[in-house]
């Protein structure tokens, strides 16, 4: 069970503010949302909140470990409330949909890098996590792709 947003904020050592509450509550209904989407949702409850304020709140909540920032290549940063577990993401190259993918290994890090050699070998990184992003087509885009392929094949056969 997820703790109440105010309790989460307090337990992270932050002051509970209406802006922080509104952002956490927005993220409850918007997994993998970018800043603009979060801002639009928060403005429904707090019309005067600025985009800059949302950026500041997202930064504070991320730093406190209450939310996670993911940065898919070529896309704006996305934020999610699912934290504290080792999961990855699948991103649709057709529509941009993002889906959580549970890690098959379970523990972090789930990938083990090859041992470095040469001058960088002494004092190597202590790996704590590994981020995996799967790129592909969501079911809807895959179906659309198949339908387009079938339509093109049908046109070629009838030409």
- Of 21, 53, 78, the residue at which a domain comes to its end is 78
pLDDT of residue 102: 87
Spans of the chain below 50 pLDDT: none
- Of 78, 105, 121, the residue at which a domain comes to its end is 78
pLDDT of residue 54: 98
Q: Are residues 71 and 94 in the same domain?
A: no
Q: Are residues 74 and 111 in the same domain?
A: no
pLDDT of residue 111: 72
Q: Are residues 70 and 94 in the same domain?
A: no
Q: What is the pTM of this model?
A: 0.78
Q: Are residues 69 and 49 in the same domain?
A: yes
Q: Are residues 98 and 126 in the same domain?
A: yes
Length of the chain: 159
Annotated binding residue 103: no
pLDDT of residue 150: 73
pLDDT of residue 148: 81
pLDDT of residue 157: 67
Q: Are residues 131 and 70 in the same domain?
A: no
Q: Are residues 71 and 106 in the same domain?
A: no
Domain coverage including residue 33: 5-78
Judge whether 83 lies within some domain.
Answer: no
The DSSP-derived string for 122-152 is: TT---------EEEE--HHHHHHHHHHHHHH
Cα of first residue to Cα of last residue in the chain, in angstroms, is 59
Annotated binding residue 92: yes
Tally of structural domains, the chain? 2
**What 3-state DSSP class applies to 82?**
coil
pLDDT of residue 76: 92
| CB-CB contact of 98 with 89 (8 Å) | yes
């Amino acid at each position: 069970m997820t703790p109440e947003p105010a309790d989460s904020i307090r337990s992270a050592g932050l002051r509970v503010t209406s802006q922080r509450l509104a952002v956490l509550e927005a993220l409850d209904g918007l997994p993998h949302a970018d800043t603009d989407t979060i801002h639009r949702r928060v403005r429904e409850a707090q019309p005067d909140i600025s985009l800059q304020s949302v950026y500041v709140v997202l930064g504070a909540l991320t730093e406190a470990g209450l939310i996670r920032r993911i940065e898919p290549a070529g896309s704006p940063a996305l934020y999610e409330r699912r934290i504290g577990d080792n999961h990855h993401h699948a991103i649709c190259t057709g529509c941009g949909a993002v889906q959580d993918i549970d890690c098959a290994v379970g523990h972090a890090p789930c990938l083990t890098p090859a041992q470095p050699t040469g001058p960088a070998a002494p004092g190597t990184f202590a790996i704590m996590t590994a981020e995996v992003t799967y790129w592909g087509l969501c079911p809807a885009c895959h179906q659309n792709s198949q339908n387009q392929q079938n339509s093109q094949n049908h046109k070629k056969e009838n030409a």
